[in-house]
Chains A and B, each alone.
Chain A
């Protein structure tokens, strides 16, 4: 049998599941938070918070269900960690920039 041209992905069930469950959730919070601050109406829009809450599971579940495509658990943690840092960095910047105005 021919050797595959790629390195098969490692299952790494525990580390990938933890990454998808935890970092996926925090990523969902950060992305929803960005929508809350930067989306239509801004942070003070009346009644917006319910939709902001409803949006959280979508990026969370997308991340969680695709996390197993990472070559390894370490990759998953590094990439999702970086995505979280970026998203929360933007969120902090948005909060700092808009809170006064």
Chain B
């Protein structure tokens, strides 16, 4: 390979990687956690929020009466509601809807059920915002604000363009030595070599995963703009999407005309026995565009949603209106597109694939962290033989401090928010407001701390902070188990205890990383950015 090509692509790799690295770290770390968004949401929902005990959940025969009574008593529910078919920790009541707010949430969450004598019971709930916060960090990197979409999503889209450039350029730079160095992990005196080898191994072995993530995120961020361009340049006057026509005048409407959910589900079961419906989402149930989406799971299929496939039904005729997103029934075009979604969400192979995605996500976070550290290390000014310790450039130190602060601030912030949410329950008026408050306080505090203390000391301290905040998750669970009168709660179910177990494991790894980093800070050369002496020279 020509050396000028390598040189240009090395520069490209360095700068795209540096600009995108920290935001990608947050996206990947939070993304690894969102692989278990549903269990996390259940884990984070306090028992007090389960307004209707599972034992009191009305049976399928009572669903039509529940829907009719709710629509009559609560006009606000006519905008749309969700019927949960079975109780979970995060389903406050069988029938739920939001009043006020918009597509992005907000407003008041209400729920209804029928009591033993068939009377309507209305409850208010505040669904836990913890899993949503992690998902938002995953999508936006934590950049607040939005117009039609979150600004952070667009920022993440731009970051992913840089990310694809960084992947290709990294590959180009590595190509000449790929065969010789492949999977080589050289542990010698040259620590930088070891880190570079690790960076390369992770990057090459997970390259297809990373290209797929990069391309899908570009689409997630910019699909509106791409559709607009396609509409203008390609489709002309042809509509890109057919909007279903409203029902004709005089079509039946009214709660008593709705087909019973059990009948709808029987129709669906005839079409696809393998589909496990979980909820019925009615929109505009009394209006001309009344529609119903049945969300559910289907083992062994790729799903269009993060954890759900869907069937569209007409709630008045009981007919299936759309099989486009019903797993196994998509037409060829939709099937291909569903594959892209499923590959991003990792929802196609049960726990094994989900955990693989967690590992690849954390591997990605390592890739970006190590990439930044390698840049810092290669910009290091070498101590002249016998001379006094040299000062590192200010930009190098700032990059090191930012990397350490942002990465470990994100890890510590997420863990701290998860713990805080459990302790303020019942004590704070709005427990949900604590999740973002705690996250941003810890995250911004960590970044400030890293700049104030210098990267070497801050790296050790923030790793310890991350370890302790993460360790507090299983400790909080233990406290909740031993002292049920205190605010925290714990669900002693294997599926949800795995949160505590994973946190304990993660805390152990973080302690290990903290101790290793501390050793490096003590023993590294005085001219290193990663030395205490280096911090003091700043």
| Residue B234 interfacial (CB < 8 Å) | yes
Kindly state the separation between the CA atoms of A13 and B331 in the bound complex, as whole angstroms.
Answer: 44
Q: Are B230 and A68 in contact (CB under 8 A)?
A: no
Kindly state the separation between the CA atoms of A32 and B241 in the bound complex, as whole angstroms.
Answer: 17
A9 and B161 in contact, given A47-B331, A53-B227 (Cβ under 8 angstroms): no
| Residue B240 interfacial (CB < 8 Å) | yes
Task: Name B334's closest neighbour in chain A (CB-CB).
Answer: A47
Return chain A residues, CB-CB under 8 Å to B241.
49
Return chain A residues, CB-CB under 8 Å to B11.
11
**0/1 interface trace, chain A 42-60, chain B, CB 8 Å (1 if under):** 0111111111111011100
Kindly state the separation between the CA atoms of A47 and B2 in the bound complex, as whole angstroms.
Answer: 45
**What distance in Å separates the Cβ of A5 from its nearest Cβ neighbour in chain B?**
10
The secondary-structure label for the interface of chain B is helix
Q: Are A32 and B234 in contact (CB under 8 A)?
A: yes
| Residue A19 interfacial (CB < 8 Å) | no
| Residue B73 interfacial (CB < 8 Å) | no
Kindly state the separation between the CA atoms of A90 and B90 in the bound complex, as whole angstroms.
Answer: 54
Interface bracket on A: 35 or more
| Residue B229 interfacial (CB < 8 Å) | yes
Task: Name A44's closest neighbour in chain B (CB-CB).
Answer: B238
Q: Are A45 and B168 in contact (CB under 8 A)?
A: no
**0/1 interface trace, chain B 250-265, chain A, CB 8 Å (1 if under):** 0000000000000000
Task: Name B157's closest neighbour in chain A (CB-CB).
Answer: A57
Kindly state the separation between the CA atoms of A50 and B334 in the bound complex, as whole angstroms.
Answer: 8
A43 and B233 in contact, given A11-B11, A54-B337, A57-B215 (Cβ under 8 angstroms): no
Return chain B residues, CB-CB under 8 Å to A65.
164-165, 168-169
Return chain A residues, CB-CB under 8 Å to B5.
9, 69
Q: Are A33 and B333 in contact (CB under 8 A)?
A: no
Return chain A residues, CB-CB under 8 Å to B161.
21, 61, 64
| Residue A36 interfacial (CB < 8 Å) | yes
| Residue B236 interfacial (CB < 8 Å) | yes
Q: Are B168 and A29 in contact (CB under 8 A)?
A: no
| Residue B9 interfacial (CB < 8 Å) | yes
Q: Are A64 and B164 in contact (CB under 8 A)?
A: yes
| Residue A8 interfacial (CB < 8 Å) | yes
Return chain B residues, CB-CB under 8 Å to A29.
226, 229-230, 233-234
**What distance in Å separates the Cβ of B331 from its nearest Cβ neighbour in chain A?**
6
Task: Name A20's closest neighbour in chain B (CB-CB).
Answer: B165
Return chain B residues, CB-CB under 8 Å to A37.
234
Return chain B residues, CB-CB under 8 Å to A21.
161
Kindly state the separation between the CA atoms of A21 and B233 in the bound complex, as whole angstroms.
Answer: 18
**What distance in Å separates the Cβ of B241 from its nearest Cβ neighbour in chain A?**
7
Kindly state the separation between the CA atoms of A101 and B226 in the bound complex, as whole angstroms.
Answer: 26
Most buried by B among A4, A45, A51, A53: A53
| Residue A14 interfacial (CB < 8 Å) | no
Kindly state the separation between the CA atoms of A87 and B257 in the bound complex, as whole angstroms.
Answer: 54
Kindly state the separation between the CA atoms of A45 and B169 in the bound complex, as whole angstroms.
Answer: 37
A68 and B8 in contact, given A29-B230, A61-B218 (Cβ under 8 angstroms): yes
Q: Are B333 and A47 in contact (CB under 8 A)?
A: yes
| Residue B431 interfacial (CB < 8 Å) | no
| Residue A80 interfacial (CB < 8 Å) | no
Return chain B residues, CB-CB under 8 Å to A95.
234, 236
| Residue A91 interfacial (CB < 8 Å) | yes
Q: Are A6 and B2 in contact (CB under 8 A)?
A: yes
Kindly state the separation between the CA atoms of A66 and B331 in the bound complex, as whole angstroms.
Answer: 34
Q: Are B236 and A48 in contact (CB under 8 A)?
A: no
Return chain B residues, CB-CB under 8 Å to A52.
230, 234
**What distance in Å separates the Cβ of A65 from its nearest Cβ neighbour in chain B?**
4
**What distance in Å separates the Cβ of A97 from its nearest Cβ neighbour in chain B?**
14
- Our pick among A48, A56, A61 for the contact of B333 (Cβ within 8 Å) is A48
**What distance in Å separates the Cβ of B441 from its nearest Cβ neighbour in chain A?**
37
Most buried by A among B223, B229, B236: B229
**What distance in Å separates the Cβ of A48 from its nearest Cβ neighbour in chain B?**
5
Kindly state the separation between the CA atoms of A11 and B15 in the bound complex, as whole angstroms.
Answer: 13
| Residue A30 interfacial (CB < 8 Å) | yes
| Residue B452 interfacial (CB < 8 Å) | no
Return chain A residues, CB-CB under 8 Å to B4.
4, 6, 8-9
Kindly state the separation between the CA atoms of A27 and B234 in the bound complex, as whole angstroms.
Answer: 12
**What distance in Å separates the Cβ of A11 from its nearest Cβ neighbour in chain B?**
5
| Residue B19 interfacial (CB < 8 Å) | no
Q: Are A51 and B336 in contact (CB under 8 A)?
A: yes
**What distance in Å separates the Cβ of A53 from its nearest Cβ neighbour in chain B?**
5
**0/1 interface trace, chain B 213-249, chain A, CB 8 Å (1 if under):** 0110011000100110110011110101100000000
| Residue B209 interfacial (CB < 8 Å) | no
**0/1 interface trace, chain A 62-79, chain B, CB 8 Å (1 if under):** 001110110000000000
| Beta-carbon contacts under 8 Å, B1-47 to A | 2-5, 8-9, 11-12
For the complex of A and B, the 5 pairs showing the least CB-CB separation, nearest first, are A33-B234, A65-B168, A8-B4, A47-B333, A50-B337
Instruction: Please name 22 pairs of A and B residues whose Cβ atoms are closer than 8 Å in the assembled complex, sorted by A.
Output: A8-B2, A8-B4, A11-B8, A29-B229, A30-B233, A32-B230, A33-B233, A44-B238, A47-B331, A47-B333, A50-B333, A50-B337, A51-B336, A56-B230, A58-B215, A61-B168, A61-B214, A64-B161, A64-B164, A65-B165, A69-B5, A88-B233
List 5 other contacts, CB 8 Å, given A53-B227, A66-B168: A9-B4, A29-B234, A32-B230, A51-B337, A64-B165
